[in-house]
Structure 1
Amino acid sequence: MTTIMGSTGAAAAAEEASNSRPFIVAARTGFAVSGVLHILIGVIAVGLAFGKNQEADQGGAMAQLATQPAGFILLWFGAAACAALALWQLSEVVFGYRHAAKKTKAMKKLSAAGQGIVFLALALAFASFAVGNGRDSGKSTSNTTAEIYKVPFGPGLLVVIGLVIGIVGVVFVVRGAMASFKRQLNLPASAALRKISMVLGVVGYVAKGVALFLVGLLFVISTLESRPRESTGLDGALKAVRDQPYGPYLLTLIGVGLACYGLYLMLKARFVRM
């Protein structure tokens, strides 16, 4: 009985901590940090379209942050904010959505778990760059896919990974086109700010979805053609777009869209329901 009461008390304390104002503020900051990364990736993508040769993914964005004045502090701040948001998302898996319908509760918890893992990975990446161990994301993805390809059923697994990423991309596009993301927000009272939020959300979600779909497509094509090392993640997908007819124009649109998604995430940090 004492053990049960102790476990219940610990769970209650954990839930209370996850709903505390300082923790919520720190978690909200994680969205803003992710927004900054997307803006930087968007700027790098536009630079690629105009002939620059940079790494257009989160690794490239973090590398740029590292070169800024007080870059060390910025990186650790990003790590802390993303870790807080990851913990909040994972706490929602345990404590959240109690009053949600049974049909949607499982999906909401699964989505929260997925986002928690994504932001935890971001936190670890920030910390890695902060201690000077930042890696080229494209090369890391390429090496990982090549190793997976060698194991039994590896090619099939890579195809599945590519399809999952592509489907997530389609979900983003649909969410943007239907503006269903607004359900997550307590929209501001200002009509102008509401309109800005909606425009940035629609454009940003569609661009993010297109980028994810291209990443998934690159996984599938490179695997089916037995060239797994060409799966270099977002950087490889964007550079593949650049090399197509009218590619620089398409890449510019995607880059601007990703920057819009970053701005939307910064607004989401303030207006998201938590």
Structure 2
Amino acid sequence: MSEKTHVGLKWVMRAGYGSRGVIYTIIGGLALLAAFKSTQASGTKDALAALRDEPYGVPALFAIGIGLLAYLVWRVTAGVKDVEDQGTDPKGLIARIGQITTGLIHGGIGVSVLALALSGKNSGGDSTEDWTQKLMSMPMGRYIVAAIALILLGAGVYYAYKGWSGKYKGHLARTQFTESIDPVLTIGLVVYGIMMALVAGSLGYAALTANPEQAGGLGEALQSLRGMAFGRFLLGGAGLGLIGFAVYNFVEAGYRVVPKFSDPDIRTLMD
């Protein structure tokens, strides 16, 4: 890649992580609000629908949608061109496939965000339940849903491990700011991993019982915390954790170290 391409890809990467940060700021903030008020915790779909009703909500949705498409470009390019030096051994190839897969998922979310901005329609219901029902109506549908649940569970475990072990520190530049904010990043990654595991559990149970109504997304996972003992505290903690994950994405946008086009002498939080 040329130097000009590197610069362009870096800004695409920043737009992508920034958009993720905005989404989880909204979801975490609404969860925190729901912990202390008689409102329901919101998942991605409802949180973005709520944003549309705010002043300048539609332009914000357009910006988020375009940013998520930028994230798609960044992750697919990173996986195909191996700009992060994952390598071609089995471990590296799995990591690169994971990059492409997460890019495609977020690209799909980006398209739905742009559709929401254009149409202003919120179809209502649980989108996770909707697509689970569609998948289950296909041949081998239960097994497809079960496989998705296992992939999400693996991703959740990975995010939690990444936060707990500090593995993420190897690709963040060391500055006074990143050093001071580091504990927030750890908590954010661990909480996000736990929430993904809860979503995976609901999908797995839906596949086991052949009942798509058991499938729930992030909003339902947050709401389930509220029904537990000390539920308001758990929900509030999850909300703060998701805001921490949003901060992690913002930090990634500004301080991510990419081997193929970052200064080779740059110090990371791992150093």
TM over 0.5: yes
Q: Report the counterpart of residue 52 of structure 2 in structure 1.
A: 66
Q: How does 1:95-110 map to 2 (within 5 A)?
A: 95-97=81-83, 100-103=86-89, 104-110=91-97
Identity of aligned residues (%): 21
Aligned residues: 257
How far 1:18 sits from its partner (Å)?
A: 7.8
Letter in 1 for 2:11: V
Q: Establish whether residue 158 from structure 1 lines up as the match of residue 176 from structure 2.
A: no
CA contact (8 A) 1:207 1:258 kept: yes
Q: Establish whether residue 113 from structure 1 lines up as the match of residue 100 from structure 2.
A: yes
CA contact (8 A) 1:43 1:256 kept: yes
Q: Relative to 1, partners in 2 of residues 1:155 and 1:115: Cα closer, same or farther, differing over 3 Å?
A: closer
TM-score in terms of structure 1 length: 0.84
Q: Relative to 1, partners in 2 of residues 1:77 and 1:168: Cα closer, same or farther, differing over 3 Å?
A: same
> Cα deviation per residue 1:63-103 (whole Å; 9 max; x = unaligned)?
23212222221111112222122112212222224854432
Q: Establish whether residue 78 from structure 1 lines up as the match of residue 78 from structure 2.
A: no
Q: How does 1:32-51 map to 2 (within 5 A)?
A: 32-51=18-37
How far 1:137 sits from its partner (Å)?
A: 7.5
Distance 1:50 1:140 in 2: 26
Q: Establish whether residue 254 from structure 1 lines up as the match of residue 234 from structure 2.
A: no
Distance 2:162 2:229 in 1: 28
Letter in 1 for 2:36: F
Q: Report the counterpart of residue 261 of structure 2 in structure 1.
A: none
Q: Relative to 1, partners in 2 of residues 1:249 and 1:38: Cα closer, same or farther, differing over 3 Å?
A: same
User: Which moved further from structure 2: 112-121 or 137-146?
Assistant: 137-146
Letter in 2 for 1:25: W
Q: How does 1:178-217 map to 2 (within 5 A)?
A: 178-188=165-175, 190=176, 193-217=177-201
Q: Relative to 1, partners in 2 of residues 1:30 and 1:102: Cα closer, same or farther, differing over 3 Å?
A: closer
CA contact (8 A) 1:58 1:137 kept: no
Runs of 4+ with >3 A deviation: 15-18, 97-102, 133-138
TM-score in terms of structure 2 length: 0.85
Q: In angstroms, what is the RMSD of aligned CA positions?
A: 2.3
Q: Report the counterpart of residue 269 of structure 2 in structure 1.
A: none
**Higher normalized helix content (fraction of residues):** 1
Unaligned runs of 5+ in 1: 1-14
Distance 1:100 1:143 in 2: 36
Q: Report the counterpart of residue 3 of structure 1 in structure 2.
A: none
Letter in 2 for 1:53: T
Q: How does 1:206-245 map to 2 (within 5 A)?
A: 206-245=190-229
Q: Which has the larger radius of gyration?
A: 1
How far 1:148 sits from its partner (Å)?
A: 2.2
